[in-house]
Structure formats: structure tokens, C-alpha cells
């Protein structure tokens, strides 16, 4: 990863300034994800406030930022569309309860099972997704109310301002780190934007009721208008009982914008209130619970996976270690409070977390400041925040993309096993194509586990020798588990072996029921051929498995001395296996 996230000492000044920077970057993200979920932008902002504040105080990773996210938004959009927004808030509350249960069950440590290739694929895919998401900021509304990409002088102005933003972020730290470069870039480009919008031809901007240099308010107007046009088109089609093409429907729109609520193009609002004061409560029945449970479980799983992956990434950048279990509890509390006050739920935001780290935010104060500033924007500073140009925010996110992508992975193809590189590509590809980070991680872990099982299935071998009594000794090497069972069975020849056979487990382990069944099946074959089978040098783990298997394993076990291995220190002593059949003397 590029050295954009260099270590900085934690201090109050850095945390405060970084928190302000993050709050500015949170605004368009929260608003955009609210539109994705089909709810008001204010709901997205309230969600970002509650999630950011509670996780900053109680979460397991200082410096990590949480808020409304796209991964959660795409899950609840169906619930809102089909059953109504009143079902959203209980679903978010139940999601928080599930996350608390996961934290109390100390299941946050499962994130340690994510292999490094999966982490690389996750980071690279995430960087590409963040970059692709910024292209939506280049869209505007034409005179017929259709979304279209910017053209002419507007696109060139925006590209130049994005370049200026990125240059400031890259160059300023070389001279001073007294203030976050991202904050300086946003303020400078905002001043330039105000000058350009006031001096360039006003008629050019007035044609689309938008500024030449697109601002946050223009983004609100674009999203709200696009939504209004889509609803109007759907209503027209339904009324006419005909599947008129989009071009026909849009032609019915006037040259002016469709009417949109004032709340949809403004960030100004009051203090959040409990959701049941503004929305009807859904029926308190099992039918309601049956509706929201699938959404709540999915929200909880996706939110925790993204949060724990973000925690791991920030740990690596800051060379510190957060608490996965505490993060689960913090996310749960945040979503419960978020749902109670009419929020859409959320989780850790990787892009904003990286902005925070890059700007010097290391402590919990940075997340608290970001959340409080976001609420202040909504209550008092909305008109000013709406003036910030999208070019400044896009430039900041592009620098996050550059700093997030693991560029060294492009040169790793011939330096790492092909299977590891394939896992990395699969995770990154799925993330980019499906925009589903949680599923990408799960698929990557499963793929890595299958590759691991396949590789170790071929590592079972046996060294054959004979003792003075004529017994044939198979000294096994490698693990015995479900994937290696076939190779294990091929090592033996019950028909042609001598009457007495010993399997020495000194260099191997039995890991699962498949291994036990393989031993049982092998023993049956030796018994059918009138021969005796003995197992020696069983580790404590193997003894536990065989003892628990009961009658499933019908073999004679040889008495062995206690060997002091590392696992003996952590596995409690268990009762010795009974009725052991004496074995012939074996040297050593």
C-alpha cells in the first residue's frame, strides 16, 4: 500500500481536525445511500450520526468511522419498497440485538480466520468499487429530467478541480502536517467553486437549475429529481396500462424539473426523534417478526463482516490492534439506537475510516467529532455544507482509492502460489461485479479452505518397516481428515500384509469423523482377513476423538507412554481409553 497512511502520534488537534474532514466527506455518502435505500436523505444523515457516535465511544477500534453504508442500503430497499418504511426501524433494532449476541458470544475472533489473499482481494476490490462509485458524481439532470453525464466546460472544470484537490492532498504533507491535507483541499476548492459559480455565465447554470461547478445541493437535486422522474414514469405506465418505453414516458415530462419535496434537496432538519412519533408502528405480531427476521439477520451478518474487515485493515495501517468482540457490541448498540430514532442502520465505512487515518485521526475523539459535526451540519450549517463542490469530495475519495489499492499485488503473480493469487482475484472480482463485500469475503474464505484441504489431502504418506517379531509397521506422515481419507486407505494392503500390523501415529493426527471412519473401515478389512491392527503413539487429540467415537471405532489400541507435546499444555487430561489389547513389543 502506498505510504499515504503514515504513522502519526495521537493527539487532540489531529483528532478534531480529522473528525471535521470526515464529517464533510460523510455528507454525500450518507445522502447517496439513503436514496439507494429509498428513504429521506435526513434518515441517512441521522443514521451516520448515531452509528458514528456510539461506535466511536463503545466500539473496538479507535479511529474507525461508522455510518450508513451501501451494503446495508441494498438489503433494506426491498423491505421498504414491499412492506413500507415502518418495518425498516424494527428490523434495524433486531439487527442490533443479533450483533450484540454475536459480541457476547465472543465470535468476533472469527475474523482471524480470514486468509491474507482474501484480505488482499477485499482491499483491491474495495478500492475499485470506491473509485467506480465516484463516477456517479459526474452525472447531472438534463432539461427532460433524465440522468446524463456532464459535457462541455462543466466536465473539464470538474476534472481540473479534482486534480487540484488530489495535488493538495499529495503535496501539502511534504511541507506541513499541522492540518489535514484533505481538509485544506476541501476548503480551497470550495472557495474556487464559489468564485467560479458566481462569475461564470449564470444562464448556463440556470438552464438546469444547477451550478456550473456541481455542489452537494446539486447532487441532492439530481438524486431527488431522478427518483421523481422514475416514480412519475411508473405511475404513467400503470395508468395507461401499457408498457410504454422510457423515451415515450420521459417525453411526457415538461422541460422543467419534476416537483420534488423541499426536504429532498436540503440537509436542514431538527433533532432526531423516536421513529414511532413520525411513522406508524407495524403490527406487533409474529407475522411482522416473520417479515423482518430475514432482513435483520442479513443486515447483522453483512454489517459485522464489513466492520471486522475494516477493523483488520485499520489495525494493519496503524500497527495497533482493535477488539473484534467489542466492535460487535458497539455496532449492535449503535444499530439499536439508530433504529429507535428512525435510522436505516449501517456499519463501519472503509472509505471514511481511511480518510480519518490519513488525516491523522487515531483516537476515539476523531469519530466523536465527526458524528457531532455531522449533526451540527444538519441543525445549523446545512446551507454552507450544500455549497461544497462535489469535485473536492471526489478528489478526496480518489486519493483514498490510490492509498487503499495494494499495488504490490500486481507484481506478486510469480512470487506467491497460484492458488493464493487465484483466491485474491476471485474476491476482488466478485466485489467489483456484485458490489457485495461481505459475500466476497465468505466466498474467499471458503475457496481458501477448499484449496487448503486439497493441498493437504496429498500430504499423507507412510514409511514402512518391520520389527523382530515380524510385525509390519506403517509410520504415517501428514493429517488424516476428510480430504485425505482416500490417500490414507491406498497406503495399506490388508490382503497381503502379515498377521500383525501396527499404524504409528507419531507424526500424524486424526482431525475429524471421516478420519475415524477410515480407521474403522481399515480395521474391518484386517479383521476379515484374520489379522490384528494396532494403533500407537496416539496424540491426546486423537485419543479424545477415538474415545468420543464409542462403538464407531472397533480397533485394538496399544498402550503408549505419555509424550510431552505442545498441545498437552492446553488440552485437559482425559480418562485413559479402557480395554486396551496388549500389542507385540515394538522397539522404541
For the stretch 342-382, pLDDT in tens is 999 999 998 889 889 988 888 999 999 999 999 999 999 89
Assigned C-alpha cell, 370 = 465527526
Last residue of a domain, one of 403, 422, 441: 422
The pTM of this model reads 0.73
Same domain? 395 vs 509: no
Do both 268 and 372 map to the same domain? Answer: yes
Q: Under 8 Å CB-to-CB from 51, ≥6 apart: which residues?
A: 66, 67, 68, 331, 334, 335, 338, 343, 345, 346, 347, 371
Lowest mean pLDDT, pick from 82-91, 521-530, 539-548, 558-567: 558-567
Question: How many structural domains are present in the chain?
Answer: 2
Residue ending a domain, among 360, 395, 422, is: 422
pLDDT at 243: 45
pLDDT of 32 strictly over 50: yes
Kindly state the average pLDDT of the residues 561-578.
Answer: 37
Measured distance CA(56)–CA(331) in Å, rounded? 10
* 248 and 142 fall within a common domain: yes
CA dihedral over 61, 64, 68, 73, signed as positive or negative? negative
Beta strands 556-557 and 532-536 are parallel
Give just the sign of the alpha carbon dihedral 92, 97, 103, 106.
negative
Q: Tell me: pLDDT of 184 over 60.
A: yes
306 falls within a domain: yes
Cα separation, 84 vs 82, whole angstroms: 6
| pLDDT tens digits for range 142-153 | 766 677 888 888
Is 449 part of a structural domain of the chain?
no
Residue 320, SS3?
A: coil
Specify whether 79 is located in the same domain as 142: yes
The three cell numbers of residue 561 are 507412554
pLDDT in tens, 278-314: 888 898 899 999 999 999 998 998 899 889 988 988 9
pLDDT category of residue 515 using cuts at 50, 70 and 90: confident
| Domain membership flag for residue 271 | yes
Closest of 295, 357, 346, 338 to residue 62, by C-alpha: 357
Strand, helix or coil for residue 405: coil
Q: Are residues 407 and 523 in the same domain?
A: no
Domain hosting 112: range is 12-422
Same domain for 399 and 485, yes or no, is no
Does residue 81 share a domain with residue 21?
Answer: yes
Return the C-alpha cell found at 427. Answer: 474476491
> Which whole-number Å values give the CA distances from 11 to 54, 314, 331, 359, in the listed order?
21, 18, 25, 12
* CATH assignment of the domain containing 481: 3.30.750.24
Residue whose C-alpha cell reads 473539464 in the numeric block:
156
Answer yes or no: do 414 and 462 share one domain.
no
| Same domain, yes or no: 364 and 260 | yes
Residues 410 and 465 both lie in one domain: no
Among 102-116, 280-294, 549-563, which stretch is predicted with the lowest mean pLDDT?
549-563
pLDDT-derived band of residue 242, with 50, 70 and 90 as boundaries?
very low
**Cα(383)–Cα(444) distance, rounded to whole angstroms?**
44
In a domain? residue 5: no
Residue 186 pLDDT greater than 50, yes or no: yes
pLDDT digits (tens, 9 = 90+) for 470-481: 889 999 998 988
| CA distances from residue 374 to 25, 360, 370 in whole angstroms, order as listed | 10, 19, 6
**The three cell numbers locating residue 482:** 476428510
Neighbours of 383 (CB within 10 A): 12
| 580: in domain | no
**501 and 395 fall within a common domain:** no
Return the residue matching grid coordinates 430514532.
341
CA distance 72 to 30: 12
Share of the chain above pLDDT 70, in %: 82
Which CA distances in Å does 325 have to 57, 108, 172, 331, 401? 15, 4, 38, 10, 28
Residue 65: CB atoms within 10 A of its CB come to 34
Position 288 scores a pLDDT of 92
Phi, psi of 532 (to 5 degrees): -110, 140
Q: Are 479 and 508 in contact (CB under 8 A)?
A: yes
- Report CA 544 to chain centroid distance, whole Å: 37
In a domain, 442, yes or no: no
Tell whether 465 and 415 lie within a shared domain: no
What is the model's pLDDT at position 30? 86
Please indicate, yes or no, if residue 234 is contained in any of the structural domains: yes
Last residue of a domain, one of 365, 395, 422: 422
- Measured from the Cβ of residue 439, the count of other Cβ atoms closer than 10 Å reads 17
Q: What is the mean pLDDT of the segment spanning 109-133? A: 84
In a domain, 428, yes or no: no
Amino acid at each position: 500500500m502506498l505510504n499515504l497512511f503514515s504513522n502519526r502520534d495521537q493527539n487532540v488537534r489531529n483528532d478534531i481536525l480529522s473528525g471535521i474532514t470526515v464529517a464533510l466527506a460523510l455528507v454525500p455518502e450518507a445522502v447517496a445511500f439513503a436514496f439507494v435505500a429509498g428513504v429521506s436523505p435526513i434518515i441517512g444523515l441521522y443514521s451516520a450520526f448515531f452509528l458514528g457516535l456510539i461506535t466511536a465511544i463503545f466500539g473496538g477500534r479507535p479511529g474507525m468511522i461508522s455510518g450508513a453504508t451501501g451494503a446495508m442500503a441494498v438489503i433494506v430497499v426491498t423491505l421498504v419498497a414491499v412492506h413500507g418504511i415502518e418495518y425498516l426501524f424494527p428490523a434495524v433494532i433486531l439487527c442490533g440485538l443479533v450483533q450484540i449476541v454475536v459480541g457476547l458470544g465472543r465470535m468476533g475472533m472469527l475474523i482471524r480466520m480470514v486468509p491474507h489473499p482474501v484480505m488482499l482481494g477485499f482491499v483491491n476490490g474495495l478500492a475499485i468499487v470506491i473509485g467506480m462509485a465516484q463516477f456517479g458524481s459526474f452525472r447531472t439532470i438534463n432539461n427532460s429530467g433524465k440522468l446524463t453525464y456532464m459535457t462541455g466546460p462543466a466536465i473539464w472544470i470538474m476534472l481540473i478541480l479534482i486534480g487540484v484537490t488530489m495535488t493538495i492532498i499529495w503535496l501539502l504533507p511534504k511541507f506541513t502536517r499541522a492540518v489535514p491535507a484533505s481538509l485544506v483541499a476541501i476548503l480551497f476548492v470550495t472557495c474556487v467553486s464559489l468564485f467560479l459559480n458566481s462569475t461564470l455565465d449564470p444562464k448556463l447554470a440556470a438552464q438546469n437549475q444547477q451550478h456550473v461547478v456541481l455542489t452537494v445541493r446539486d447532487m441532492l437535486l439530481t438524486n431527488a429529481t431522478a427518483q421523481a422522474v422514475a416514480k412519475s414514469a411508473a405511475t404513467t405506465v400503470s395508468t395507461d396500462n401499457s408498457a410504454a418505453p422510457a423515451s415515450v414516458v420521459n417525453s411526457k415530462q415538461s422541460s422543467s424539473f419534476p416537483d420534488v419535496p423541499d426536504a429532498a434537496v436540503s440537509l436542514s432538519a431538527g433533532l432526531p426523534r423516536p421513529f414511532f412519533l413520525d411513522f406508524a408502528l407495524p403490527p406487533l405480531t409474529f407475522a411482522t417478526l416473520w417479515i423482518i427476521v430475514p432482513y435483520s439477520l442479513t443486515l447483522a451478518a453483512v454489517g459485522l463482516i464489513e466492520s471486522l474487515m475494516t477493523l483488520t485493515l485499520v489495525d494493519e495501517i496503524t500497527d495497533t490492534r482493535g477488539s473484534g468482540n467489542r466492535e460487535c457490541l458497539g455496532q449492535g448498540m449503535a444499530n439499536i439506537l439508530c433504529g429507535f430514532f428512525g435510522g436505516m442502520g449501517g456499519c463501519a465505512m472503509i472509505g471514511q475510516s481511511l480518510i480519518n487515518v490519513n488525516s491523522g485521526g487515531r483516537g476515539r475523539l476523531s469519530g466523536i467529532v465527526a458524528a457531532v459535526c455531522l449533526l451540527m451540519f444538519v441543525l445549523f450549517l446545512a446551507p454552507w455544507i450544500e455549497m461544497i463542490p462535489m469535485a473536492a469530495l471526489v478528489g478526496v475519495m480518489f486519493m483514498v482509492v490510490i492509498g487503499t489499492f495494494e499495488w504490490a499485488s500486481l507484481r506478486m503473480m510469480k512470487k506467491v502460489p497460484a492458488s493464493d493469487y487465484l483466491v485474491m482475484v476471485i474476491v476482488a472480482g466478485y466485489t467489483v461485479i456484485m458490489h457485495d463485500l461481505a459475500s466476497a469475503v465468505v466466498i474467499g474464505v471458503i475457496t481458501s479452505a477448499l484449496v487448503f484441504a486439497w493441498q493437504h489431502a496429498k500430504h499423507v504418506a507412510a514409511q514402512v518397516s518391520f520389527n523382530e517379531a515380524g510385525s509390519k509397521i506403517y509410520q504415517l506422515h501428514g493429517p488424516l481428515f476428510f480430504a485425505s481419507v482416500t490417500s490414507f486407505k491406498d497406503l495399506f494392503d490388508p490382503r497381503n500384509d502379515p498377521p500383525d500390523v501396527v499404524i504409528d501415529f507419531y507424526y500424524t493426527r486424526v482431525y475429524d469423523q471421516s478420519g475415524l471412519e477410515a480407521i474403522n473401515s481399515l480395521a474391518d478389512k484386517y479383521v476379515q482377513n484374520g489379522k490384528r491392527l494396532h494403533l500407537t503413539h496416539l496424540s491426546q487429540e486423537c485419543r479424545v476423538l477415538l474415545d468420543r467415537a464409542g462403538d464407531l471405532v472397533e480397533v485394538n489400541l496399544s498402550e503408549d507412554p505419555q509424550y510431552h507435546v505442545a498441545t498437552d499444555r492446553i488440552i485437559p487430561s482425559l480418562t485413559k481409553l479402557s480395554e486396551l489389547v496388549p500389542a507385540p513389543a515394538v522397539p522404541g
